[in-house]
Amino acid sequence: MARHEETEPRGGDDPAGGSGATGPEGRFLALYGDHYRPVYAYVYRRLPAGSPDVADLTAEVFTTAFRRIGDIPESPLDRLWLYGVAHRLLSRHHRSTDRRTRLERRLAGQRPEEPDGDPAGGRAAAAAAAVEQLGPTDREVVRLVLWEGLSHGEAAEVLGITANAVGVRLHRARARLRKRLAAGEAPMALLPPIRPNEAG
């Protein structure tokens, strides 16, 4: 399985190549240089380990950014705009993948695979599975706040909802997770930690 750090650009790479470009091209190069790693990590954490689609979807985010450079707000909202694009692309990707998987299983006459019973990671796996059972928006609120470290207002900007709605959804998601895990502690702490270099 390819390691995340092996697929990202080297830390010393300069996407602008020292070209000194100005205008829309210069802004895009600056945007790419500033936000490639966070966007890559955002996509990476939302796909299965070893997925070959991480780089392609990240590239599609920046292709959209290049095409719509005039629509992108100034920093710090530019990163949230990119996350919003990534969120929509991933939603479409997951729908397509789910349809394909269901079709393949029907054709092969297979039952869905049972989860791995690794006792060492059992509670973390249970927490991750519980998050997956949340509704799409609640699930993404949990991920944005937990994985990306966004504030309620920033998560709201990505999802196109209000900060109050983020707070309500996060509170509701925590309650549901506690109930499903039947644990005395907040289940957020049981989720698998961010792996080294994922956040860039």
- 132 and 90 part of one domain: no
Whether the per-residue pLDDT at 7 is higher than 70: the answer is: no
pLDDT digits (tens, 9 = 90+) for 70-88: 999 999 999 999 999 999 9
My answer on whether 177 and 142 are in the same domain is yes
- 154 φψ region: left (φ > 0), alpha (ψ -120 to 50), beta (else): alpha
Confidence (pLDDT) at 8 = 45
Range of the domain at 69: 20-109
157: CATH: 1.10.10.10
Nearest to 12 by CA among 43, 42, 33, 39: 33
143/199: higher pLDDT: 143
The two tokens of residue 151 are 């504030």
How confident is the model at residue 131, as a pLDDT? 78
The rounded distance, in Å, linking the Cα atoms of 63 and 151 is 27
114 within domain boundaries: no
Q: Are residues 80 and 30 in the same domain?
A: yes
pLDDT in tens, 161-198: 999 999 999 988 888 887 777 654 444 444 444 333 44
Judged against a pLDDT cut of 60, whether residue 18 lies above it is answered with: no
Residue that terminates a domain, selected from 109, 141, 156: 109
Based on the fold, state whether residues 104 and 133 are members of the same structural domain: no
Helices (H), the chain: 4-7, 23-44, 54-67, 77-108, 122-132, 136-146, 152-159, 163-181
Q: How far apart are alpha carbons 148 and 194 in whole angstroms?
A: 10
How confident is the model over 99-137, as pLDDT tens digits? Answer: 655 545 555 555 455 555 444 455 566 667 777 888 888
pLDDT of residue 61: 96
One domain for residues 83 and 129: no
Rounded Cα distance between 116 and 131, Å, is 17
Which is higher by pLDDT, 193 or 29?
Answer: 29
Distance of CA 143 to the CA centre of its chain: 7
> pLDDT value at position 110?
52
Q: How many domains, the chain?
A: 2
Instruction: Indicate if 138 and 104 belong to the same structural domain.
Output: no
Is the confidence at residue 25, as pLDDT, over 70?
yes
- Same structural domain for residues 130 and 71? no
Residues 163 and 83 in one domain: no
Model pTM greater than 0.85? no
Q: Which of 67, 90, 109 is the endpoint of a domain?
A: 109
97 and 174 fall within a common domain: no
Last residue of a domain, one of 57, 81, 109: 109
Share of the chain above pLDDT 90, in %: 38
- Give the pLDDT band (50/70/90) at residue 22: confident
Percent of the chain with pLDDT over 70: 64
Task: State the virtual CA torsion across 10, 15, 17, 18 in degrees, nearest 10.
Answer: -110
